[in-house]
Amino acid sequence: MAKKLFVRTYGCQMNVYDSARMADVLAPLGYAQADAPDGADMVILNTCHIREKASEKTFSELGRLNLLKQERRAAGGDLTIAVAGCVAQAEGAEILARAPYVDIVVGPQSYHRLPELIARAARAGGQVLATDFPAEPKFDHLPEDGAAPGPQAFLSVQEGCDKFCTFCVVPYTRGAEYSRPVAAIVAEADRLARQGALEITLLGQNVNAFHGEGPDGRAWGLGRLIRRIAEIDGIERLRYTTSHPADLDEALIEAHRDVARLMPFLHLPVQSGSDRILAAMNRRHTAADYLRSIDRLRRARPDIALSSDFIVGFPGETEAEFAATLDLAERVGFAQAYSFKYSPRPGTPAASMEDRVSEEEKAERLERLREVLERHRLAFNRRSVGRTVDVLVERSGRKPGQLIGRTPYLQAIHFDGPARLIGRILSVEVDSAHGISLGGHAALAAEAAA
């Protein structure tokens, strides 16, 4: 009888990719994916350590899983519990001590070993821990085949980070920067295209630092990789995330100018508009550098939609330094952005810096920044009204007969249409703009052709 696997994913898109790959690794062992923990034989929590709140979710979820495991044992069965991802990497030993019912702790670079770890846990009847950074990258050991993606697929091309921003855990949880060889990436993209993906998002913690070995033996940058993948039949749309401002080179900007399939959208985290704070964060760019990059991008692709991440209340941030962040946000006019209160992370340099900003101050700054970001987002969305845009239809909406998709600018848009249109790219006329989404109707020609 088939065993059931449930994977719960927290954190970034790289974790979403990893969760799918873990399921691919376990499929040959007879594990089929379940959509809830209740009937599962094995549950994997793929965790995130980026902020305190994200990390805390792991332990509360583990408490619930323990109850399920006890129930299952009382009924003569069992439940294998594995913790994967960035909390596993950062706090592996602590998890085993605090949660003795956890069977397996596996880091983000070791999950290709899951079959062996499951066997070891079963044999030993105890806990197993795999959080080393193996010399050989996990990609060399992952199956070439995998479950079919939806119309939208993720593809990890780069892993880890060597930037060491002083607030960030990623260099510690994901390890050193590594780029996959171009041939392996192209093979995976070919497979995704054959399985029906229309859109691929190339992933990396620092994706524009990509420098994978090309078929010519030379290191290829991300711009060149994008041109190559854009040649694959069936891949209508390409995106990539997340980029670092210091690694934005001319070749990538030119790809935005020349490659029609590369969507006019860029997520380029800036974190702060103050040069003193940027230096304290070890970001390796100034506010002026960032604004110059934005100008170059807009010259290459005038309609490009920009997105960013911000941190407010970094240690020592003054009111004037925060005002510089508001100013930068006003000047760029982001189409969307994420903003966070600074969260001290154990082991990072910023966690031991003096001059903590109070929680009230952080909350107040976050609110002021969000007001600016939301105003620009709404303005950007309003400029879409009356236009006809290509929409990749991803899924059904909450209301009956409603479909939800994405515009080239990554805006969510809902409109009425039959479910058979899911997985197609349609022309949709935008009728209305809301804070986080658009409303529209499918243009008639597209409906008739469908």
Give the helix/strand (H/E) hosting 301.
none
CA atoms of 198 and 189, how far apart (whole Å): 10
Under the phi-then-psi rule, with left for phi > 0, alpha for psi from -120 to 50, and beta for the rest, what region is 11? left
CA atoms of 437 and 447, how far apart (whole Å): 22
Q: Which residues contact 148 (CB under 8 A, 6 or more apart)?
A: 195, 196
Q: Which of 69, 113, 174, 362 is the binder for ligand F3S (CB under 6 A)?
A: 174
153 sits near ligand SF4 (criterion: CB under 6 A): no
271 sits near ligand SAH (criterion: CB under 6 A): yes
The contact mask relative to ligand F3S for 201-220 (x = CB under 6 A, - = no) is: ----x---------------
Q: Where would I find the H helices in 169-249?
A: 170-173, 182-194, 222-229
- Per partner kind, with CB cut-offs from 5 to 8 A, the member of ligand SAH, ligand F3S, ligand SF4, none near residue 49 is ligand F3S
105 sits near ligand F3S (criterion: CB under 6 A): no
Hey, what amino acid is at 288? A
List binders of ligand F3S among 10-39 (CB under 6 A): 11-12, 14-15
The residue ranges of DSSP E strands in 242-356, in sequence order, are 265-267, 305-312, 336-341
List binders of ligand SAH among 29-68 (CB under 6 A): 50-51
- Per partner kind, with CB cut-offs from 5 to 8 A, the member of ligand SAH, ligand F3S, ligand SF4, none near residue 51 is ligand SAH
244 sits near ligand SAH (criterion: CB under 6 A): yes
The window from 66-74, 337-345, 365-373, 430-438 that contacts ligand SAH (CB under 6 A) reads 337-345
Give the max Cα distance, the chain. 66
Q: Where do we find the tokens 């920044």?
A: 369
Counting residues that bind ligand SF4 (by CB under 6 A) gives 10
Helix axes 85-98, 52-74, angle to 10 degrees: 50
Query: What is the phi/psi pair of residue 203, to 5°?
Result: -115, 150
The contact mask relative to ligand SF4 for 154-173 (x = CB under 6 A, - = no) is: -------x-xxx--x-xx--
Our CB check for ligand SAH shows the closer of 4 and 285 to be: 285
284 sits near ligand SF4 (criterion: CB under 6 A): no
CA atoms of 307 and 362, how far apart (whole Å): 22
- Per partner kind, with CB cut-offs from 5 to 8 A, the member of ligand F3S, ligand SF4, ligand SAH, none near residue 436 is none
Our CB check for ligand SAH shows the closer of 43 and 170 to be: 170
State in angstroms the smallest separation of the CB of 171 from ligand SF4. 5
The residue ranges of DSSP E strands in 149-291, in sequence order, are 152-156, 158-159, 178-179, 199-203, 237-241, 265-267
- Kindly list the residues in this chain that would bind ligand SAH in the complex (CB under 6 A): 50-51, 167-168, 170, 205-206, 242, 244, 269, 271, 309, 311, 340, 342-343, 345
- Kindly list the residues in this chain that would bind ligand SF4 in the complex (CB under 6 A): 161, 163-165, 168, 170-171, 205-206, 244
